[in-house]
Amino acid sequence: MRNRLLASLPAEDYALIAPHLTAVELERGRLLYDPGDPIETIYFPQDGVISLMTLMENGAAIESATIGREGALGLMAAVSPRQSLSRIIVQTPVKATRIGAGAMHEAWDKSAAIKDLVDKHTEALFGHAIQSVACNALHPVEARFCRWLLTCHDRISNDTVALTQEFLADMLGVQRTTVTAVARSLQEKGAIRYRRGVVDIIDRPALEALACECYGAINRTYERLLPPEH
């Protein structure tokens, strides 16, 4: 059980949802929800990254938050029925545990521990979002690129991230040519190595030094609000 939310639940509370949990694998690029879609399924990632992307009228979609094993997708639907606010896609291959929103709501209704978990997770995700608001306005692309890689690296179990520069340009809300330039610069600095569709993280400390403070700030918010590991 790598998902931190599920792992933190006391056995009796976990037992409320266990019968309804199903393990799934989600392939990269899969569209889970579009804005307005009712959230019928909640996903607890065990490994991999899911992106929340704000969709603009012209079709541009930019990442507003990510979800990995520290959280869950659609968890707010445990409280009451929801429509998705964003386009939600699978960014790296994801192993997850899923549960229907209805079943989760019933468990939420019975368990104070689950209520608390939903509450804290909502707060942490909000903190993630408002930090990103500031980051996108104030920080140069290279720092945001590094933050993005680190966040991704934390949520997967190896040093290789499969993604195209084009995709990454969308995530960051910049031109692809800008991503190309930044990627080359980072490779020259020895922080990453990349080839067609793949980025290898070579020197994580270097990335951390180049990333903006938002990386640490978001992590601290999660650490403060979520149950400790183990």
Identify the residue among 54, 164, 180, 185 touching a copy of itself (CB under 8 A).
54
Angstrom distance (rounded) from CA 59 to CA 54: 10
Q: Does 183 bind DNA (CB under 7 A)?
A: yes
Residue 173: Cβ-neighbour burial (10 angstroms; 0-12, 13-18, 19+) = middle
Q: Which is nearer to a copy of itself, 97 or 131 (CB)?
A: 131
In angstroms, the CA 82 to CA 103 distance is: 14
Q: Give the binding-site size for a copy of itself (rule: CB under 8 A).
A: 38
Distance of CA 210 to the CA centre of its chain: 21
For 162-212, the DSSP string reads E--HHHHHHHHTS-HHHHHHHHHHHHHTTSEEEETTEEEE--HHHHHHHS-
Closer Cβ to DNA, 129 or 174, answer by number = 174
Contact (CB, 8 A) for 98 and 39 = no
Footprint (CB under 8 A) of a copy of itself, residues 115-144? 116, 119, 122-123, 125-127, 129-134, 136-138
Under rule CB under 8 A, which residues in 149-168 are in contact with a copy of itself?
none
43 vs 167 by CB, closer to DNA: 167
Tokens of 12: 């009796």
Residue 80 or 158: which CB sits closer to a copy of itself? 80
**CA-only gyration radius of the chain, Å:** 18
Binding residue for a copy of itself, selected from 172, 207, 210, 226, defined by CB under 8 A:
172
**83 in contact with DNA (CB under 7 A):** no
Decide: is 54 part of the binding site for DNA (CB under 7 A): no
Please tell me whether residue 142 binds DNA under the rule CB under 7 A. yes
Nearer to DNA, 152 or 183 (CB): 183
